[in-house]
Amino acid sequence: MTPIHCVNEFIAAIEQRDVDHAISFLHDEISYENMPMSPIVGRQAVADVLNGFLAPAREVQWVVSRQWAVDDVVINERLDRFKLGSGWLELPVAGFFHVVDDRITVWRDYFDLSSYMNQFNALTND
């Protein structure tokens, strides 16, 4: 499995909201770094976070507009979409994935937290 294949399979599992399958692509000691927030370390802690934001969504699409692989790093620009309440929440994200031995060891996402929160509140308060 190449690093880009690993990341693609991980994202496919996210879109299926299959957290158990998604975390099979993560290293035990993964560091998941949402840049506005503190890092989340360890596969089970990441599973808890993924469950938290996938559970309310009736459908999930992570649309990758551009993706690069350089050595063991995969970089993508995405529009993460979550079907919630009355519509779709859409969040532009830049993702950086370090892949070692077919497992993601570091995952850093850059995005605007208020864009997420404002849409979440608007869609779920209708």
Shortest CB 82 distance to a second copy, Å: 17
**Residues of this chain, 61-90, that bind a second copy according to CB under 8 A:** 66, 68, 70, 73, 75, 77
CA distance 80 to 27: 23
Q: What is the DSSP letter of 1?
A: -
Instruction: Give the binding range for a second copy (CB under 8 A) out of 20-28, 55-63, 81-89, 107-115.
Output: 107-115
Instruction: Give the binding range for a second copy (CB under 8 A) out of 16-24, 41-49, 52-60, 113-121.
Output: 113-121
Task: From the candidates 20, 48, 72, 80, give the one annotated as an active-site residue.
Answer: 80
Q: What is the DSSP string of 69-114?
A: EETTEEEEEEEEEEEETTEEEEEEEEEEEEEETTEEEEEEEE--HH
| Rg of the chain (C-alpha set) | 14
Q: Which two tokens stand for residue 71?
A: 């050595």
* Residue number, 40 or 94, with CB nearest to a second copy: 94
Shortest CB 70 distance to a second copy, Å: 5
